[in-house]
Every structure is written in C-alpha cells, then in structure tokens.
Chains A and B, each alone.
Chain A
Amino acid sequence: MALLDVRDLSVVFKRKGTRPFTAVDGVSFSVEPGQTVGLVGESGSGKSVTSLAIMGLLRKRGAEIGGSVTFEDTELLTLSDKQLRDRRGRDLGMVFQDPLSSLNPVITIGLQITEVLERHRGMSRKEARVEAAELLDRVGLPDPQRRIDEYPHQLSGGMRQRVLIAIALACRPKLLIADEPTTALDVTIQAQILSLLSELVSETDTALIMITHDLGIVAGLCDDVNVMYGGRIVERAQRHDLFDRSRHPYTHGLLQSIPRLDAPRGEPLTPIRGSVSDNIEWEQGCAFAPRCPNATDVCWSEPPELKADDGRMLRCHNPVAIGDAVTEGAL
C-alpha cells in the first residue's frame, strides 16, 4: 500500500479575463514509505505547483484542482482547512527553496521549532525547547544551545536550511516534500545539505519527494524519478534506468546539456533548443515537439500517451533509440 498516491492530479489557474492556464495536467505517481521520489523539470514544468497541491497550499480561489491525492487512505483534496492544518507539519512536512525568506525574521529560530512541537506533539514549552535543541544538534547546527536563541539573519544560508529541515522533521512526518532545497545555496553547502537530508530520511524511514531541476541531485538521491514537461509527466523510470538509458528526447537532452567529467575534452555541450515558451498545447500534440530533435508529423498532431515501455513509463511517439541512449546518455 502506497503512502501517497497521486492520481490524475490537475491544477488549472483561472482568472477573470484571461485564458485558463493548465499548470498540472493528469499527473499520477505514488510514493512508498521510506522511498525517495524525484520530480524533475525546468521552470514552469509544474513541479512546484504539484507539491503545493499535495500540501493543500494553493488558494482555493483561482485554482481548480482535480484528481485525487490519497495519503494513508485519506483523500487530502477534500479535507477541510482545519483537518489539513492538523495533518500538515505532523504527517506531511515541507522544506522550501529559499531558507532566508522561509523563516520568520522577527522571532528566534527556537520559537519557530517549538511552536510546531507544541502544536503537533502537545509538548510544554520547556519540553519543546529541549527537543528543539536536540533537533538542531541532529541537523548539525554547531552550538545549538546558543543558536536556539538567535534570529534567522544571524545564521548563514546553510545553517538556515539546516534549521528549516529541523523544523520540517520536528514531528517526524511520514512524508517530506523538499522543493528545490539547495537552489539558494552554494555548491559545497548543497552537498552537505543533501547528504544530511538523505541521512535523516533513511534514519527515520521518511518518504521524500525531491523537487528539483538539477539532475545531479536526482542521481545521488532518488529511487524513482518523474520527469515533468509542460505540466505532464513525460518519463518515469528508476534512477539507473533513467541515467543509463534515457528514452524521452527531453530527458536525453537534459542529460546531454550537463557537463560530464568523463566526456572527451573539447566536446561541446548540446543544449535543448528553444524555450518553454515555444510549447504547443498538449491537446494539439506533444508540447515538446517544437524543441524536439526527433519530432515528426505525428508529434504535431496527436498527443502522446504515457505508456509502459522498456521497464519505464514513457510519453513519446519517437523515443530515443535504445542503442543511442546507451552510448550517449551515460552519466
């Protein structure tokens, strides 16, 4: 039984006077307890909106959410605001992208941890403080007894992200959603934060949804990877399958545009041509067709379905040939 089961999730933003915009379209995936699932895509692919929809954080007005999100037999999309608030933080945690703006600047980090502990674990202020210091210690914040009374601006970026992780894991949620948790950090800190995340997640058997545009993070962390494009999942595979033999031209292009240490010297990187704004509507055909090197007439006229193929799910009329993928896509 899956911990989280997302079925046919769709999010349509509607605003008076403008055309409705479909940000997420028929996304389905599931997460097993303790599993790490990646949600990969470039800006505007709908990965963040998917996570906000799962958490129930999209404003009801203006966003029309369809499909179903089942968490341990509970349908999250129909829960009342109050019921959701009881679940958030306790069963479902979230780590956001920008660690500075995600912390309240006017209260101490200690208070920001204890308020969650008091809320969900019914601790007294004193107990919560002791627990908060322990949590800060566990996420590797130096000198937690002193730091607990400091304000966010007194901490460095990496420390702030550690604090956010401590807050998110304070109530031992069963599922943690990390929305680009390392984007605002520099590379050395990124590695530390990622290894901390994976360590804590495996220690506490927490399931993790990792949202990122960075395939390097996925390669190091995720069991299953969902690649999103234009609001739909275009390829889903196990990590090794995806990196060794990417089949969707988009995934393939992403991998080719990353510099590799084992590539011959002087070999140019191959970017994906065009940009997201070139997309055509999924109703017309394949949204990626205008940018796709493999596109044929059928891609422009007939929307591809997500189908099982070669041990994975693939949404493509003209996938990268298996032989090509092995030689060129290896990371």
Chain B
Amino acid sequence: MSILSTRKADKIDSLAEGGTSLAMDALRRTFRSPVAILGLVIVGLFVILAIISPFVAPKDPYRPYPELKAELTPSNIPGPMPGFLLGSDQNGYDFFSRLLVGAQQTLFVGVFATLIGVTIGMIIGGLAGAFGGWVDSLLMRLTDIMLSIPSLLLAISIAALMPGSQWTVIIAVAMIGVPVFARLLRGAMMAQRSSDHVLAATALGVKRRTIVFRHMLPNSIGPVIVQATLTLATAIIDAAALSFLGLGDSDWRRAEWGLMLGNAQELLSVKPSLAFFPAIAIIVVALGFTLLGESMRESLDPKNRR
C-alpha cells in the first residue's frame, strides 16, 4: 500500500512539472539503480585519474631510475621500496607512476577508437537511412560483410597490415565498431522515415536535407550514444588484446595498460604484479563502462519504461 501510494505521488509530481521528455525520464530512471551509480562512479574516477595523472604521478613514468636499475637483473625485478610504491618494471621505470599515467593513454585509445568508429558508422548508416533504395542496400551489404568477419580477427588483420603505432591500434579497434553503429543508426532512421512527424514535415514542403538533419537524425541518435558507451568498454579490451598479441604500439615505453600487460607476459614468473595491476585496471574500467552503458540502454528501452 505504501509503495503504491509513493509511486502514485511520484507520478503526480512528474505530471505537475508538465511532463518529462523520454531522455530526461530515462536519465532519472538510470540513476535510480545502484548498478548505474556504481558504473558512473568507476567511469568518473577513471576519467578524473586520466586527466590528473600526469600531475599527481610521484615519478616520471618515461625515465629509468638508477636506484631501480641498480637492482634490476633478468631474474629479479625490484619490488616496493621507499619512493617507489610498486617498485620497478622490467626497464627500471617507476611502475606505480606508469600505472597512473596508463589511465590517460588507455582512455585516449578507447575514446578515439570509439569516436572514429561512431563517425564512420554514422556516415554509412546515415546515408543508408537518408537515401534508402539501392544506396541502403549497397551500404548495408557492405556492413554485413564487415559483421561476418569475427571482430577481433578483423582488428588483427588491420593491425597486421599497418605499421605498429598507437593510431594503428585505434583504427583497427574503430573498424570493429563501424558496422554496429552503421546498422544501429540506419535502423533508427528507417523508423523515423515512416514516422508521422516526418510525414508532416514533408507535407509542409520542408527540404529533404532539413528533414534528414533536423527531423530524422536527432530522433535517431539515442541508441547510438548508448552503444558508444558500451563500445568504449570493448574498445579498451580489444586495444589491450591487440597490444597483448604484439600487434599494438611498437613504442614499448608508452605507458598504456594493454601494452604494459603485453610486455609483462614473459615476466609472469619473475614479477606477476607487472601483469596483474594493468589487467585489473582494464577489467574494472571495462566493467564500469559496461554497467553504465547497460543501465542506460535498459532505461531508454521503452519496454522497460514504468
């Protein structure tokens, strides 16, 4: 009874505000769930860390320290010592500082890979959705072909064909997302094409371009944004996988979690923490983005609207 009446009161409140849009409503419902808040906290901390890490890292992550180098042998990598919280890495660099700065590099790869994927995917999906007909058929068959190749295999092939650099990783990972975003936007735009308000705008003689950019696109973008959040998680994992397989950045000094994990694989018996910490960091961050993205998707889904 009490639950029922508070629900009712909620409803009346929202009516009194003059109703709420789907987006606002979805946002409110998203952050009613503890899972979403956990995701938001993880992502928030990660982003803050990525921004401030160069300033708070106790040591320079790109310079070997003689104190560490002195004790570094092929079978012994120094552990924690005064001033070096997690000790040395295999090259005599400060491991803790590298872990912190790694947040920035990892976020950089994840964000750019996703952005490039979203951009290319939206261009393809947008063209298909705006024109329909043979343009749509052609572009969608192309994305079908891309989708038919297992995603990691696609990324590996692209990465193997290009010189090993950070941008190679970014582009290879971006290509995984392209067909997904293309399909998503195309589907949403197709639904908009036959919607009443697009018909009404057409009946008013509004130009095709205006209809696409002002009436169809803004109403189709929601699912793409949600998918982008989810893709950030997989992009970080995929980038790490490429680095791990040795197809990543050829600059071994770069403090990026995937790369650090990849370079630590021969040293698992010597100092497992070199692999353990980057791996945990990747898992937690990917989990954060996934939790956030999934909760957003759920609350934007009209089927779950209460």
Contact = CB atoms under 8 A, between A and B. Distances in A.
Contacts of B21: 105, 151, 153
B28 interface: no
B202 interface: yes
B306 interface: no
Interface in B190-218: 195-197, 199-208, 210, 214-215, 218
A282 interface: no
A164 interface: yes
Contacts of B203: 55, 57, 88-89, 93-94, 96
A13 B214 CA distance: 31
A104 B219 contact: yes
Quick one: which of B200, B208, B218 has the most chain A CB within 10 A? B200
B205 A120 contact: yes
Interface string A79-116: 00000111111100110101001111111000100011
B19 interface: yes
Interface residues of B, number: 23
B206 A116 contact: yes
Interface string B214-245: 11001100000000000000000000000000
Contacts of A105: 21-22, 197, 219
B219 A57 contact: no
Given A106-B219, A115-B214, A101 B204 contact: no
Interface string B168-209: 000000000000000000000000000111011111111110
B219 to A, nearest CB: 6
A88 B207 contact: no
Given A101-B196, A102-B196, A154 B204 contact: no
A55 B202 CA distance: 10
B215 A104 contact: yes
Contact of A90 (B196, B202, B205, B215): B205
A154 B18 contact: yes
Contacts, number: 76
Given A104-B214, A106-B219, A98 B205 contact: no
Nearest to B21: A153
Contacts of B199: 57, 96, 102
Interface string B61-76: 0000000000000000
A209 interface: no
A89 B219 contact: no
Contact of A85 (B20, B207, B214, B218): B207
A191 B200 CA distance: 23
Interface string B3-41: 000000000000000111110000000000000000000
A271 B157 CA distance: 71
A116 B210 CA distance: 11
A168 interface: yes
A93 B214 contact: no
Nearest to B210: A115
Nearest to A106: B218
B205 A115 contact: no
A168 B204 contact: yes
A107 B218 contact: yes
A87 B202 CA distance: 11
Given A106-B218, A119-B205, A119-B206, A98 B19 contact: no
Nearest to B221: A106
Contact of A94 (B20, B197, B200, B208): B200
Contacts of B208: 85
Contacts of B201: 104
A87 B206 CA distance: 10
A115 B202 CA distance: 12
Nearest to A88: B205
B218 A89 contact: no
A86 B205 contact: yes
Contacts of A89: 203-206
Contacts of B18: 154
B214 to A, nearest CB: 7
Contacts of A106: 218-219
Interface string B57-96: 0000000000000000000000000000000000000000
Contacts of B202: 57, 85, 88
A106 B208 CA distance: 18
A260 B280 CA distance: 77
23 contacts: A57-B199, A85-B205, A85-B208, A88-B204, A88-B205, A90-B205, A93-B203, A93-B204, A94-B200, A96-B200, A101-B197, A102-B196, A104-B197, A104-B215, A105-B219, A106-B218, A106-B219, A107-B215, A107-B218, A115-B214, A116-B204, A116-B206, A153-B19
Given A115-B210, A119-B206, A120-B205, 15 more contacts: A85-B205, A85-B207, A85-B208, A88-B204, A89-B205, A90-B205, A93-B204, A96-B200, A103-B200, A104-B197, A104-B214, A105-B22, A116-B204, A116-B205, A116-B206
Interface of B: 18-22, 195-197, 199-208, 210, 214-215, 218-219
Interface of A: 55, 57, 84-90, 93-94, 96, 98, 101-107, 111, 115-116, 119-120, 151, 153-154, 164, 167-168
Pairs A-B, 10 closest by C-beta atoms: A89-B205, A88-B205, A89-B204, A101-B196, A102-B200, A94-B203, A106-B218, A104-B197, A85-B205, A102-B196
